[in-house]
């Protein structure tokens, strides 16, 4: 307990040094991102969608969300101009707990402290991914201080997802979304926006790679809360067709499931973990993608890949099916998909034009 309190005080002290340093350097632009335990210590979503990188951090003030004391200290010593939000939050809440103050008072004090820091730094522009957890903190502050807020869509948008309620309640001055579909979606679910505040910024790249397989392939995408028995059922259905080679992609930030690997090896299915999925699409000549919930169901049409949403009442966002973005199928009907590829190809062309353009 005392060690944690000391570490939090140390991190807060180093954070406040950075606050004063940024004021002296007269830096006016700010970012928000999440610290990750990877090479750059920057959440890959911020790198991908906001084009943030380690070199650019010296030109901005960088508010960060950190999951641990160790990563906070790493970031403070390895990255430039870092302000650890959790150090301010931790100090206020621990102090007020000792003083037996109510949680709502601590929340108000925390918001007031962040407001004071932002105001002291004279920030004029703030960029961030649309992290639903911190939008209620930053956006009212930025609006109150008349600071331009720029948001970047980092994951699919759906009116059906409860945890995305903050997308309906708060708005950025400028908001960059992936494609025409999501521009329409955000305008529908948040009436505070007007058309010219939403910009389309396609994060996907057109890779020019040599195909290493002439045989067409299909990808089955790993997702959380799906049992190995379910994957085995899907694999058994997909194996009935002989035209496509089957590949499996694990989530890059998850630990590999060794029991699932045994199933894949037994069924002679090549699997991937941290590799770039979009490059794999081209290298392995992928024609179809099967998933429950993955945002790859939306992205795959950009690469001319047929997206098939496998029905599961606990996982699916059927809104995408209703909006004709994906093809839907129950597990016990998966082997029938291959009888309708011609019609699906024609519909895929329409999906791609409607979402990504030509």
Count of C-beta atoms within a 10 Å radius of residue 209: 11
Q: What is the pLDDT of residue 259?
A: 96
Q: Give CA–CA dist 199/214, Å, rounded.
A: 38
Q: What is the pLDDT of residue 235?
A: 96
Q: What is the pLDDT of residue 156?
A: 85
Q: What is the pLDDT of residue 210?
A: 76
Please list, in sequence order, all residues whose beta carbon lies within 8 angstroms of the beta carbon of residue 139, skipping any fewer than 6 positions away: 149, 170, 171, 172
CATH topology of domain 2-200: Rossmann fold (3.40.50)
Q: Comparing C-alpha atoms, which of 316, 310, 308 is closest to residue 332? A: 310
Are domains 2-200 and 217-356 of this chain identical in fold?
Answer: yes
Q: Which two tokens stand for residue 160?
A: 């059906």
Q: What is the pLDDT of residue 358?
A: 61
**Is the separation of the CB atoms in 293 and 318 below 8 Å?**
no
Q: Give CA–CA dist 322/310, Å, rounded.
A: 14
Q: Give CA–CA dist 159/51, Å, rounded.
A: 27
Q: What is the pLDDT of residue 316?
A: 65
SS3 track for 308-341: EEECCCCCCCCHHHHCCCCEEECHHHHHHHHHCH
DSSP assignment of 127-149 equals EEE--TTTHHHHHHHHHHTT-EE
Question: How many helices and strands (H and E) does the chain possess?
Answer: 14, 13
**Is the separation of the CB atoms in 306 and 345 below 8 Å?**
yes
- For 309-332, what is each residue's pLDDT tens digit? 998 776 667 788 888 899 999 999
Q: Comparing C-alpha atoms, which of 317, 307, 330, 339 is closest to residue 234? A: 330
Please list, in sequence order, all residues whose beta carbon lies within 8 angstroms of the beta carbon of residue 354, skipping any fewer than 6 positions away: 180, 181
Segments of the chain scoring below 70 in pLDDT: 1, 314-316, 358
Domain residue ranges in the chain: 2-200, 217-356
DSSP assignment of 94-137 equals HHHHHTT--HHHHHHHHHHHHHHHHHHHT--EEEEE--TTTHHH
Radius of gyration of the chain (CA): 23
CATH topology of domain 217-356: Rossmann fold (3.40.50)
Burial 318-348 (b: 16+ CB within 10 A, else e): eebeebebbbebeeeebeebbeebeebeeeb
CA distances from 289 to 154, 238, 307, 347 (A): 21, 11, 5, 15
- For 20-61, what is each residue's pLDDT tens digit? 999 999 999 999 999 998 889 999 999 989 989 888 899 999
Q: What is the pLDDT of residue 100?
A: 78
Q: What is the pLDDT of residue 314?
A: 65
Q: Comparing C-alpha atoms, which of 310, 311, 1, 317 is closest to residue 158? A: 317
């Amino acid at each position: 307990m005392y060690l944690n309190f000391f570490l939090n005080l140390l991190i807060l002290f180093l954070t406040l040094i950075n606050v004063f340093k940024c004021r002296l350097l007269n830096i006016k632009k700010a970012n928000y991102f999440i610290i990750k335990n990877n090479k750059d210590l920057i959440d890959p979503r911020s790198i991908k969608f906001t084009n943030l990188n380690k070199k650019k951090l010296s030109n901005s003030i960088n508010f960060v969300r950190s999951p641990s004391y160790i990563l906070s200290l790493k970031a403070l010593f390895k990255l430039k101009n870092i302000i650890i939000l959790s150090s301010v939050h931790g100090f206020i809440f621990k102090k007020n707990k000792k003083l037996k103050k109510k949680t709502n008072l601590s929340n108000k004090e925390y918001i007031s402290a962040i407001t004071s820091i932002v105001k002291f730094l004279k920030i004029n522009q703030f960029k961030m991914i649309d992290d639903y957890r911190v939008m209620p903190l930053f956006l009212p502050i930025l609006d109150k201080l008349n600071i331009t807020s720029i948001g970047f869509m980092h994951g699919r948008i759906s009116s059906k997802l409860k945890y995305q309620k903050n997308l309906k309640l708060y708005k950025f001055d400028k908001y960059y979304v992936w494609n025409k579909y999501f521009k329409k979606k955000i305008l529908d679910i948040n009436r505070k926006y007007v058309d010219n505040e939403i910009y389309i910024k396609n994060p996907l790249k057109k890779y020019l790679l040599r195909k290493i397989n002439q045989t067409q392939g299909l990808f089955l995408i790993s997702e959380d809360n799906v049992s190995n028995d379910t994957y085995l059922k899907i694999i058994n259905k997909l194996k009935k067709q002989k035209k496509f080679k089957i590949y499996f992609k694990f989530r890059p930030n998850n630990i590999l499931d060794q029991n699932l690997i045994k199933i894949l090896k037994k069924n002679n299915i090549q699997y991937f973990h941290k590799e770039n999925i979009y490059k794999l699409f081209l290298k392995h000549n992928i024609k179809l993608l099967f998933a429950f919930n993955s945002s790859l169901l939306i992205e795959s049409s950009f690469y001319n890949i047929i997206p098939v949403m496998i029905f599961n009442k606990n996982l699916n966002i059927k809104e995408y099916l209703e909006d004709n973005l994906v093809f839907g199928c129950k597990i016990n009907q998966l082997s029938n998909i291959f009888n309708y590829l011609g019609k699906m190809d024609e519909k895929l062309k329409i999906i791609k034009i409607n979402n990504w353009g030509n």
